[in-house]
Structures are given as structure tokens and as C-alpha cells.
Amino acid sequence: MNTKVTLAGVELKNPVMTCSGTFGSGMEYGEMIDLDRLGAVVTKGIANVPWPGNPTPRVTEVYGGMLNAIGLQGPGVDVFMKRDVPFLRQHDTKIIVNVCGKSESDYVDVVERLADADVDMLEINISCPNVKEGGIAFGQDPKCAEQITKAVKKVAKQPVIMKLSPNVTDIAEMARAVEAGGADVVSLINTITGMKIDINKRTFALANKTGGMSGPAIKPVAVRMVYQVANAVKIPVIGMGGIMTAEDALEFILAGATAVSIGTASFINPDTTIQVIEGIEAYMKKYGVEDIHELIGAVH
């Protein structure tokens, strides 16, 4: 049975990876699960300098998921390269570094500094607010998305995954824009913007007022968007958004995703990624599927 998939020349032993921001940089979960079994570890967003993140409270539960407004808190690329890359390299898994920034030059700076790092791929988070454009996310304007892709591709030594924001009118248009900019792979969806109000305190549940919604409630939206994008571009698609089980992951694969990422579920059960890997294998056995590629995009 073949569960191997290839993304822009990088071979993964199986299509299951973690979602950026929900798995730290791998070390945090290393004592709980066998990282060697994962197709890839996708790190928390890495910026060119340390980011303090947003004021608290910045996480709240909602029906069917959670809202977060962490604000991409992180130690910055220098600490990441010194501490996290050597740790991950001890494991037999691919390393995908999620990159964030507040301006085009921020992104380019991180990507240049990662050029000689021993990492396999870069995932560019274009749901970040573009400070120079008054806070609109890079991923909400097709021209802007294409431009940032081109800028990153110019300096990247590793294949580039562009992570799309679902907070747009036409997700296929955004995917075509980053493909035109030279993206090697596209991943989606990032979180959906939401809000929760505490009626007893008569205030916002998050200090930031709004946050990114993740968890099982967003899955039908994510599956639809992955299907649309897989049919709009020629580059591989990584699907994510509310995956809790192998059945959920298989929906994304059948919709056209070559690989899948698991996020919020890891907070509830750190073993979810492993259970999904085993569940996909069990499904393939049950239905006599010899090769995972028979399933990718099988639903038209």
C-alpha cells in the first residue's frame, strides 16, 4: 500500500501534517507523539524579529471550535534556527516552516535567512495584516497576493507553499493569483474571522475583539474551498480546516487535496495526527486502495 505523496519534489511518507500555530515547532508535542510517523511538521509562524503577540485574553471556545487572536507570538527566526531546526532534524519527518510578516520586506528577510537552513519547504502565511496597506491582509487582494509570492520566490531556496485566507469573495481567484506569482503549492484554509461577546460582562471575549475561528464547524467551508481551488490550479493543494478524524481528512483528499494538515484537534487530543494516519491506512485496506493517488481528487 502506497501512502507517499510528493509536493513540489518533496516526498512525504504519508499525506498527514500539522497545522501551523497548533503544534509549536514540534518540540512541545515530541514527548506525546512519535514525530517520525508524521508526513511533515509545519511550524508556528516565524517572523524576522521576535513578536510579542496580542494582549490577553486571546483564546476562547465557541460552539464547534475556538477563536484565537494570538497575534503570531514567536521568538523570531534566529532562535528558531538555533533551537528548533536541530531538534526537528533528529526526526524522520519533513520540516515546513511557516513564515509571517507585516510588510513584503519582512517576508523576504525571513525567507533569505532560511535559505541555508536545513528545512524542506516554506509556507507563507498571507493572512497577516499588511501594515503598509492599512491592515488589509496580503491574502485578500489578488494583485497583492501575486506580488508577495513573486517577491518570496525570487529569494527562496526551498519550494514555496502559499497559505490562503478564506476571508475573500473568490478563493479560486486568489489561488490563481499565487500560482501566477510562481507558488509551488497552495494550502488552505486559514482561520475564518469571527467574534464572541460575553453577555454577562458585556464585553468582547477576546481583547482583540475578533479572532480566527478554527475547529470542526469550519470543515464544510474548507472542503468546498479546497475543491474549488483544486479545480482552478495545476499546483498541488494542501487541505485543512476542522479535520478531527480520518474520515474528515479523506473528504479533503477526495476533494483534491494531495496532503492534509491537522490543527485544533491536536489541542483536544495530541494523538489525532497519528490516528488520522492509521485511519487513512485502514480505509485504504477496507476498500482495496493500493495507492493514495487513486483517492486524490476522485470526486468530480
State the catalytic residues. Answer: 128
DSSP string, the chain: -B--EEETTEEESSSEEEPTTSSTTSHHHHTTS-GGGSSEEEPPPB-SS-B--PPSP-EEEETTEEEE-----B--HHHIIIIIHHHHHTSSSEEEEEE--SSHHHHHHHHHHTTTSS-SEEEEETTSB-GGGTT-BGGGSHHHHHHHHHHHHHH-SS-EEEEPPS-SS-HHHHHHHHHHTT-SEEEE--PEEEE-EETTTTEESSTTSEEEEESGGGHHHHHHHHHHHHTT-SS-EEEESS--SHHHHHHHHHHT-SEEEE-THHHH-TTHHHHHHHHHHHHHHHTT--BGGGTTT---
How far apart (Å, rounded) are the C-alpha atoms in residues 50 and 247?
38
Instruction: At 200, list the grid cell.
Output: 454577562
Find, among 215, 218, 235, the residue nearest to 172 by Cα.
Answer: 235
